[in-house]
Chain A
Amino acid sequence: MLKKVFLFITILSSCLFLIVGCGKDDGEQTSSDNVIHTALTGKITGLDPANMRDWSSGVVAGNIFETLYQYHYLKRPYEAIPLLAESMPIISDDGLTYTIKIKQGVLFHDDKCFPDGRGRELVAEDFIYALKRIANIKNISQNWSMFDNKILGLDEFREYTKTCKTRDEVDYSWQVEGLKAVDDYTLVIKFKRRWPQFIYILTDPSTTAIAKEADDMYGKDIIAHPVGTGPFKLKTWHRGSYIELVRNPKFRGELYPSEGEPGDEEAGYLDDAGKPMPFVDGITWSIIAEQQPAWLLFMNGQIDSKAIPKDNFGEAIDSSMELTDQMEALNIRLEKFSDPSTYFVGFNMEDQLLGNNKPLRRAISYAVDRKRFIDLFSNNRNIVADGFLPPLMASYNPEIKKKGYAEYSNEKAKQLIEEAEIINKGKIPLLKLGMPGTGTSYRQMGQFLKKCFNDVGLEVEMLYMDWPTYLEKKNSKSLQMFVSGWIATVPDARDFLEIFYSPYWKAGTKSFNYYNPQFDKLFEQVEVMPDSGERRELYRRMEMVVMDDCPAVFINHRVSYVLKHSWYKNYKPHVFQYGLAKYRRLDCAERANYKQFLKKVK
């Protein structure tokens, strides 16, 4: 009897194993299709351009919607070129009026919001509607801060929307002085004062055209019903799991760039010069929060590119910071590129102790071993922040390293602490440093920073908190110090400088609470200046003003390491990753062979 039962259980288990184990080979489903498969670590919160600031949503939406301008895919430094605009804007002599001609014959995706379900032609009014949606307070757009007090009449429109009880009550025919559609293909925008960075704003997905019909039909659910003009349209969005885009059959067509920068031709980035895009039939993003499955999918050839997880860094990159032999054998390629980002320990300049004690702030700066930090927490990928403007910016000051702002010296730190104690009239009390997370990596970073403080005789309490609590405390100015970072959304240093400009932070969210009249004056001067050598010099001067005041310990700038399979063509790293899938091409035959190749290697 006993033997029979054991036999039964053994057979049952084997059957379960065999039945489920004989399923479709997961590599097969991705090997032959001309679809890009990739992963996102963060979930997509919504595909409404008016209310979209998270990276994942922007990356997806950038392939569905199109903006008036885009960055040249190959040229560096980043250069804005027309996309839906016919040409670059005609700017009036006073710099206050932009006249933009729009391409004719551009069609919205077919969607049931249009009569007969056929997408209508894009007109200038669609851009005006999009900007009004951002201004409409009932839409609580996260993008409003970009347009606050910039366009003539738009703030008045926002005031008007405050008087409406619901979003449906808002009348979009309300005239905004600074937004005019002269005809269907001519858009005129007038500013209150010069806004030279506006051309970059027009590359941001938030400024894409919106069809009023889609907004009227879907209302709040427009986040899941994107109706754009781009090369791809939404097929399936299984929230929290995956999103699939397919080629828009009515896409007007766009040609792959024929010019690049030196080295692009050798790297193969110009192989498809002048060919019509897109090259692929679709894109699928899987939302993969954990690193192991994403890494295994990449190694299995099921996703085409992948940033290297911290735990797999040694497997992929050798001590000379190049690919390991194992990766080379698999025909995997490495791409390295700098992000326009800076990470720091910020000081609350309104804190009684820190705000009035520059030697103390400088002592803390000397106490932090940035190189060791980078080694420990980014596998030695990132670069030391000698100032706060990243090297990617045209206004980056190559001479700033000589100033020694990033120097690590416990001796100098201790000397400055002596000065700080004189100012403080006694020993420096316990300091408090807020961490924007409670996970292991934050605790490890906290341990490291605590040790740096302790090494120079400073006591510090690490406050680990979840993200919303952290934000709330930072905004209410109740954090003495905080770990944070900043990523530019446009290739202009103004994006970094504005966080130190007091009228902006006073009206918006708080961080350093830094105030220096000299800096504010310079900011007002450069904000309206067009790009020039003079403006770049002023940016550098402003950076020095901030660095001398030391409102933060600037630690590092991020350098991304991305792996891609050899079949994934035209993959040139681009930090403003909106709408790039149209450039990418797949060698499907090579992808199909990989599975067989991998079997041998395994």
Chain B
Amino acid sequence: MTAYIIRRLFYTVPIVAGVLLLTFVLFNLVGGDISLEIAGKNATQETIDEIRHEYGLDKPLFLSLDSQFVNHFKNALVFDFGRARDREPVIDKIKRGIAPSLSITVPMFFGVVFISVSLALLVAFVRGSAWDSLTLFICVAGMSIPYLSFILFGQYFFAYKWGFFPIYYTPGLSLYEYAALPVLIGIVTGIGSNLRFYRTVMLDEMKSDYVRTAFAKGLSTRKVLFKHVLKNAMIPIITRVVLAIPYLFLGSLLLERFFGIPGLGYLMIEAIGSRDYFIINAMTYISAILFVLFNLTTDICYALVDPRVSLD
């Protein structure tokens, strides 16, 4: 397994390098020059030139040891993303945004996984019944309603009209106060698609011979469902669950924006709006690394839960 992990880690190098190349081409060649915008109105050419100098935009693009491209690589390797457009170090912004983002995405993640898997087991067991149909109907309805509608509805009724939750993040609110409503909305919107997926997985398992054998042997429903069916359904569950983890670090763009949670999702959406390439570049790079690492984690988990899978 160690050899496999080392080999896979080596594979990450060209992938991450590819991402760096892509971001460089997108932001430096296609995206255009940002110095004019930074310079403000009535800026003279010399001011614009000085900005280009400060941000290293006056250096050659490729063919030099001190080129923009080489510096882009070098800085990324040591996680030095420079300063954002407002002159604050990008890494400080990211560090500050991680906790607020995780404070909503982690409970959302566990809430969605726990509720979806549990309900999926149950509705798979009672497949074809009115409960199954009702659950399916609610899932499809939930998936069909735009995410933004849940946010607007939740904020208006649960926060403003009925006063159960704060409307927006304000100084002095504790974590459970400001994160509660976004988490609840995140769970409600996430359940539809997840439950449908897990239900399908469970149904496939339910049709297996070993389930019939288990019942024939007189095992209880609880044992069949939780000890056998759930364990055998773990491969698709792990694939979905582990690959969702990198998204937790990216935060939730809309929820953070509407509830004023100063996380990475909010940071990213603002960076896109203001074309702050320094932030977008850093977030893209970190995301790429996280995706590669969690892909590897997924493979390792396969081997741990299923003895038929060998990583050698």
Contact = CB atoms under 8 A, between A and B. Distances in A.
Interface of A: 1-2, 5-6, 9, 16-17, 19-21, 23-27, 29-30, 37, 43, 45-46, 53, 137-138, 140-142, 144-145, 148, 162, 220, 223-224, 236, 238-242, 244, 284, 286-290, 292-294, 296-297, 299-300, 302, 466-469, 471-472, 475, 504, 507-509, 602
Contacts of B33: 472
B87 A46 contact: yes
B247 interface: no
Contact of B32 (A23, A239, A472, A509): A472
B199 to A, nearest CB: 15
B2 interface: no
A304 to B, nearest CB: 13
Contact of A140 (B47, B163, B222): B47
Contact of A466 (B167, B184, B275): B275
Contact of A26 (B86, B115, B161, B170): B170
Question: Chain B at the A interface: mostly helix, strand, loop or mixed?
Answer: helix
B39 A140 contact: yes
B227 to A, nearest CB: 14
B115 A9 contact: yes
A29 to B, nearest CB: 6
Contacts of A288: 168, 260
19 contacts: A5-B118, A20-B177, A20-B180, A21-B165, A23-B165, A24-B173, A26-B173, A27-B163, A37-B170, A43-B270, A137-B47, A140-B47, A238-B171, A286-B260, A293-B258, A302-B170, A466-B275, A507-B44, A508-B42
A399 B37 CA distance: 38
A292 B40 contact: no
Interface residues of B, number: 68
Given A220-B87, A223-B87, A290-B258, A142 B43 contact: yes
B167 A293 contact: yes
Contacts of A475: 36
Contacts of A141: 47
B13 to A, nearest CB: 33
Given A23-B176, A26-B166, A296 B275 contact: no
A394 B122 CA distance: 75
Interface in B225-275: 257-260, 262, 266-267, 270, 274-275
B41 A137 contact: no
Contact of A2 (B36, B87, B125, B259): B125
B37 A9 contact: no
Contacts of B164: 17, 20-21
A97 B46 CA distance: 28
Contacts of B172: 29
Interface in B85-139: 85-88, 93, 96, 115, 118-119, 122, 125-126
A5 B164 CA distance: 27
B156 interface: yes
B41 A145 contact: yes
A184 to B, nearest CB: 32
B36 A471 contact: yes
A292 B155 CA distance: 9
B215 to A, nearest CB: 14
Contact of A302 (B118, B119, B167, B220): B167
Contacts of A16: 180, 184
Contacts of B38: 140, 142
The 9 tightest CB contacts between A and B, nearest first, are A20-B180, A142-B40, A241-B262, A145-B42, A21-B164, A23-B177, A508-B42, A26-B166, A296-B160
Contact of A467 (B180, B183, B275): B275
B54 A468 contact: no
A137 B170 contact: no
A467 B32 CA distance: 12
